[in-house]
C-alpha cells in the first residue's frame, strides 16, 4: 500500500521590515476561510487540498522520496511562482507535486478590503510506501 505524507511548512520570509512597511493587522481579514491571525503575521490556511498521486513507476519499484517547494500565493488564493527547492530522487516526484500544489486553494489575505499577494511559502511533499 502507499502513503503520502504532507508536511506543511509555511514560513515567513526573513526580510527586515521597517516601521513604515508594517501592516496594521487589525485591518487584516481572510476571505473563504476562517480568520486566523497571530501576533507577528497572518497564518496561512489551506481550504482545498488534494493528495498528490503516487507515481506508478515509483510505487512499482518501491521508491520513496520528497519534494520541497517554495511558492507565493496570489490575490485569489492560488499558488504561483512555484520553485523546486530540493527533491530526492530528482525528477521522480516533482511533476506530480507541482501539479498538485497548483490545484490547492489557500485563504486569501485581505488588507483594507484589498486582496494581497503573499510571498515565500514553503511546503514539503513526502512520498512513502507502507511496509
pLDDT digits (tens, 9 = 90+) for 22-60: 333 333 333 333 333 333 445 678 888 988 999 999 999
With 60 as the cut, is the pLDDT of residue 86 above it?
Answer: yes
Percent of the chain whose predicted confidence (pLDDT) is above 70: 67
Residue 71 is predicted with a pLDDT of: 94
- With 0.85 as the threshold, say if the pTM is over it: no
| Mean predicted confidence (pLDDT) in 105-130 | 90
d(CA 114, CA 89): 41
Residue 101's H or E segment, with its range, is helix 94-103
Length of the chain (residues): 131
**Number of C-alpha atoms within 13 angstroms, CB side, residue 131?**
5
The CA-based angle 38-41-117, given to 5 degrees, is 130
Amino acid at each position: 500500500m502507499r502513503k503520502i505524507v504532507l508536511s506543511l511548512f509555511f514560513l515567513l520570509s526573513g526580510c527586515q521590515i521597517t516601521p513604515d512597511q508594517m501592516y496594521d493587522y487589525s485591518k487584516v481579514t481572510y476571505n473563504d476561510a476562517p480568520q486566523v491571525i497571530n501576533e507577528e503575521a497572518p497564518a496561512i490556511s489551506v481550504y482545498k487540498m488534494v493528495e498528490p498521486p503516487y507515481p506508478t513507476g515509483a510505487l512499482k519499484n518501491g521508491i520513496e522520496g520528497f519534494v520541497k517547494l517554495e511558492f507565493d500565493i496570489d490575490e485569489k488564493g492560488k499558488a504561483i511562482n512555484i520553485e523546486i527547492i530540493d527533491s530526492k530522487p530528482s525528477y521522480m516526484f516533482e511533476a506530480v507535486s507541482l501539479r498538485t500544489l497548483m490545484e490547492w486553494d489557500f485563504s486569501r489575505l485581505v488588507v483594507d478590503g484589498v486582496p494581497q499577494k503573499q510571498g515565500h511559502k514553503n511546503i514539503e511533499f513526502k512520498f512513502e510506501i507502507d511496509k
